[in-house]
Amino acid sequence: MTASRLDAAPSVSEHLKQVPAAVRPTIQAARRTIKAIAPNATEISYRSQPPRSKSAMWKIIRYALDGADVAGIGTFATYASLYFYRGRELEDASGLLEGGGKDMRFIRLRSPADAEAVATKRIVRKAFTLG
């Protein structure tokens, strides 16, 4: 194996094979939501492995627009997370956004329906409008 292959991030499909089966449909729904709203966004696979701890998020994919990271999808053992790099700037009348970090916020996705909900789509649209 060449050094460049060793440094390459696993493909999204390789990551999905390792995701817990119960969470996989939710991640796939989140991907569909983002791709439908931001078809020009670049999908970038993280260079990561499943975490050793069940309480740690495994970041799988991030989406960039014009070189700037906008959103990402990660997973825990029992649910997925849709996170936004400029989440603090997003208006959220629905109360879905969680987190209190300097910039990032996230939505907890417990089912594919959560990823496809109108309120989730509204937030994703706003995030990609911010760029």
- Number of compact structural domains in the chain: 1
Tens digits of residue pLDDT in 85-120:
999 999 899 999 999 889 999 999 999 999 999 999
Extract the tokens encoding 13.
Answer: 């499909």
Among 110, 99, 94, which Cα is nearest to 84's?
A: 99
Tens digits of residue pLDDT in 64-74:
999 999 999 99
Decide: pTM greater than 0.95: no
Share of the chain above pLDDT 90, in %: 63
| Cross-strand pairs, 75 | 58, 80
104 contact partners, CB below 8 Å, separation of at least 6? 83, 84, 85, 87, 88
Q: Which domain holds residue 71?
A: 3-130
Main-chain phi, psi angles of 49, to 5 degrees: -125, 160
Element (H, E) at 123: helix 118-130
Among 47, 40, 49, 25, which Cα is nearest to 116's?
A: 25
Tens digits of residue pLDDT in 51-65:
777 777 888 899 999
